[in-house]
């Protein structure tokens, strides 16, 4: 095996580990230095090569993460030229989220329109993007009379929305469970998946970093994430993206919400994960 082929093989194998479709634990990822711009041409070329040779459900748990592909090496022009070929089959995307998703399209948080979540999904091939997010939202509980996640899903389904769904939920759910809710993480996930039977679902894991409110401790997030990973083995239409393994402390403003930098990185990674989970054939 020549060196070039060996390097491509290693990068390709790295492309998918953060996307969890079976119950596996991921190794700690290798990160790029703060401030480096990611090369999506490199990501999508590697992802495409990987998916040609392996099913998403059989990804290695020992490879680096998607974010680990954002290396300090000189950009590979050939890979970057192939970015247009790395697209998702999802033409319609609906993201259901909480306050962290509200910020993902917030002009005050994300100054560059191209970095906002709607633009990022369209970058990988989505034609229509719907963001339904509300501050304090969880799957079950309602805040200030606003719809919970289940009601938000019902509302979008009633409007005829079908296709791919990104469920950016779990942070407030984990806190409610820690506070004594009798509705478990597994039941919350099951209720969402019953609503979305037959739809393609991407559900990123959740993470916090030293929040003031102990209900939002990362241990509670990890418990919710464990339930998500188990659910991936139960529902064939669910892919769980292990976003929690990608996060870095400096992405957080208060331990729960993201800085502008963190929001941009999250948006980019969600779009990359969607194209990885549901690639254009």
Longest dimension (CA), the chain: 62
CA distance 235 to 140: 20
DSSP string covering the chain, please?
--HHHHHHHHHHHHTTTTEESSS-PPPPPP-PPTTPPP-HHHHHHHHHHHHHHS-GGG--SSS--SGGGS-SSPP-HHHHHTGGG--BS-SEEEEEE-HHHHGGG-TTT--SGGGSHHHHHHHTT-SEEEEEE-TT--SS--BTTB--HHHHHHHHHHTT--SEEEEE--HHHHHHHHTT-SS-HHHHHHHHHHHTTTSEEEEE-----S-SSGGG-HHHHHHHHHHHHHHHTT-TTEEEE-GGGT--GGGBSSSSSB-HHHHHHHHHHHHHHHHHHSB--
CA distance 161 to 180: 34
pLDDT digits 0-9 by tens, 225-278: 999 999 999 999 999 999 999 899 999 999 999 999 999 999 999 999 999 899
Closest CA to 132 of 56, 195, 218, 197: 195
The predicted pLDDT at position 55 comes to 28
CA distance 29 to 130: 31
77-86, 145-154, 245-254: least confidently modelled range: 77-86
pLDDT digits 0-9 by tens, 100-124: 999 999 899 999 999 999 999 999 9
pLDDT digits 0-9 by tens, 181-198: 999 999 999 999 999 999
Q: Tokens at residue 39, please?
A: 């090369």
Give yes or no for residue 9 having a pLDDT over 90. no
Residue 156's pLDDT band, with cuts at 50, 70 and 90, is very high
Q: Average model confidence (pLDDT) for the chain?
A: 78
CA distance 82 to 40: 10
Three-state secondary structure readout of 227-262: HHHHHHCCCCCEEEECHHHCCCHHHECCCCCECHHH
CA dist list (Å): 255 to 82, 101, 185, 207, 269: 37, 15, 21, 9, 19
Contacts of 181 (CB under 8 A, 6+ apart): 140, 141
The predicted pLDDT at position 117 comes to 97
């Amino acid at each position: 095996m020549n060196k070039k082929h060996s390097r491509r093989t290693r990068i390709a194998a790295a492309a998918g580990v953060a996307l969890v479709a079976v119950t596996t634990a991921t190794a700690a990822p290798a990160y790029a230095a703060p401030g480096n711009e990611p090369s999506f041409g490199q990501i999508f070329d590697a992802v495409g090569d990987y998916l040609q040779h392996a099913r998403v459900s059989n990804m290695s748990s020992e490879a680096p993460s998607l974010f680990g592909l954002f290396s300090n090496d000189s950009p590979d022009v050939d890979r970057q030229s192939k970015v247009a070929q790395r697209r998702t089959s999802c033409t319609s995307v609906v993201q259901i989220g909480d306050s962290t998703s509200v910020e993902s399209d917030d002009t005050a948080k994300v100054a560059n329109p191209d970095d906002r979540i709607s633009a990022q999904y369209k970058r990988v091939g989505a034609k229509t993007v719907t963001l339904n997010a509300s501050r304090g939202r969880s799957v079950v509980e309602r805040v200030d009379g606003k719809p919970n996640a289940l009601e938000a899903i019902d509302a979008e389904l009633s409007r005829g929305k079908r296709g791919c769904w990104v469920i950016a939920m779990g942070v407030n759910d984990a806190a409610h469970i820690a506070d004594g809710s009798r509705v478990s993480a597994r039941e919350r996930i099951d209720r969402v998946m019953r609503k979305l039977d037959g739809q393609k679902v991407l559900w990123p894991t959740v993470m916090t970093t030293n929040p003031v409110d102990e209900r939002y401790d990362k241990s509670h997030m990890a418990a919710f994430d464990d339930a998500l990973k188990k659910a991936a083995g139960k529902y064939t239409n669910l892919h769980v993206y292990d976003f929690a393994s990608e996060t870095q402390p400096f992405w957080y403003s208060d331990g729960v919400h993201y800085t502008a930098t963190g929001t941009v990185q999250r948006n980019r990674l969600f779009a990359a994960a969607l194209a990885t989970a549901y690639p254009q054939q």
